Chain A
Amino acid sequence: MGRLDASQLAAQACTRNGGDATRLLQVLIDVQEKAGWLSAELISAVAAELGVPRVRVEGVAGFYSFLYTEPVGNYRVLFSDNITDRMLGAPELMDALCGKLWVERGKLSEDGLVSVDTTSCTGMCDQGPALLVNGRPLTRVDHRRVNQIAELIRRKEPLYAWPSELFRVDDNIRRRDALLGPDQRPGEALRAALTRGREDWLAQMRLSNLRGRGGAGFTTAVKWQACRDAAGADKVVVCNADEGEPGTFKDRVLLSSFADQVFEGMTLAAWAVGAQRGFLYLRGEYRYLLDHLQHVLARRRSAGLLGNAILGETGFDFDIDIHLGAGAYVCGEETALLESLEGKRGTPRIRPPFPVTHGYLGRPTVVNNVETLAKTTLIALHGGEAFAATGTAQSTGTKLLSISGDCAYPGIYEYPFGVSIEHVLEDCGASDVQAVQVGGASGMTLASYEFHRRIAFEDVPTAGAFMIFDSSRDMFEVARNFVHFFAHESCGFCTPCRVGTSLLDNYMNKLASGYGAKMDLADIEWINRLLRQSSHCGLGSSAPNAVVDALVKFRPAFERHLRNLDFEPAFDLNAALAGARTAAGRDDPGAFLDREQETTR
Chain B
Amino acid sequence: MSRQFLFDGQPVPFEDGQTILQAAHAAGHYIPHLCWHPDFPPHGSCKLCIVKVGGRHVSSCALPAKEGMEVESNTPEINGERRALLQMLFVEGNHFCPSCEKSGNCQLQALAYDLEMLTPRFNHFFPDRPVDASHRDMLLDFNRCIFCELCVRASRDVDGKNVFALTGRGIHKHLAVNAESGRLADTDFAADDLAANICPVGVILHKRVGFAVTIGKRKYDAKPIHTVALEEGE
Residues of A within 8 A of B (CB): 40-41, 43-44, 53-56, 58-59, 61-65, 328, 345, 350, 352, 487-496, 498-503, 506, 523, 526, 529-530, 533-536, 570
Contacts and interface: CB of A to CB of B under 8 A. Distances in A.
B6 interface: no
A384 B8 CA distance: 48
A523 B87 CA distance: 13
9 contacts: A43-B180, A55-B177, A59-B176, A499-B89, A501-B170, A503-B91, A530-B81, A533-B50, A534-B50
**Chain A contact surface mostly:** helix
Contacts of B88: 495-496, 499-500, 503
B45 A59 contact: no
Nearest to B166: A59
Given A59-B176, A498-B92, A503 B169 contact: no
B137 to A, nearest CB: 20
B229 interface: no
A35 to B, nearest CB: 16
Contacts of A488: 170
Nearest to A541: B57
Contacts, number: 125
Contacts of B156: 53
A498 B172 CA distance: 9
A415 to B, nearest CB: 33
Contacts of B179: 54-55
Contacts of B92: 498-499, 502
Contacts of B162: 53, 55-56
B115 interface: no
A535 B167 CA distance: 20
A536 B45 CA distance: 7
Nearest to B57: A533
B165 A489 contact: no
Given A53-B162, A55-B163, A491-B170, 19 more contacts: A43-B180, A61-B167, A62-B168, A63-B167, A63-B169, A350-B59, A487-B170, A489-B170, A492-B166, A492-B169, A494-B46, A494-B47, A495-B88, A498-B147, A499-B89, A499-B92, A503-B123, A530-B81, A536-B47
Interface residues of B, number: 42
A488 B172 CA distance: 9
Contacts of B169: 62-65, 328, 345, 490-492
Q: Specify which of A58, A490, A495 lies most central, judged by the most chain B CB atoms within 10 Å of its CB.
A: A495
A58 B167 contact: yes
A535 B81 CA distance: 12
A566 to B, nearest CB: 15
Contact of A487 (B64, B123, B165, B171): B171
Interface centre among B64, B164, B166, B176 (most CB of A within 10 A): B166
B40 interface: no
B167 A502 contact: no
B173 A55 contact: no
Contacts of A328: 169
7 closest cross-chain pairs (CB), A and B: A62-B167, A53-B162, A492-B173, A499-B88, A55-B178, A59-B165, A55-B165
B27 interface: no
A502 B164 CA distance: 25
Contacts of B176: 55, 58-59, 62
A61 B180 CA distance: 13
A55 B62 CA distance: 27
A495 B48 CA distance: 9
B133 interface: no
B122 interface: yes
Contact of B166 (A345, A529, A570): A345
A7 to B, nearest CB: 13
A506 B88 CA distance: 13
Contacts of A492: 147, 166, 168-173
Of residues B92, B123, B147, which shows the largest number of chain A Cβ atoms within 10 Å of its Cβ?
B123
A502 B85 contact: no
B80 to A, nearest CB: 9
A592 B180 CA distance: 45
A538 to B, nearest CB: 14
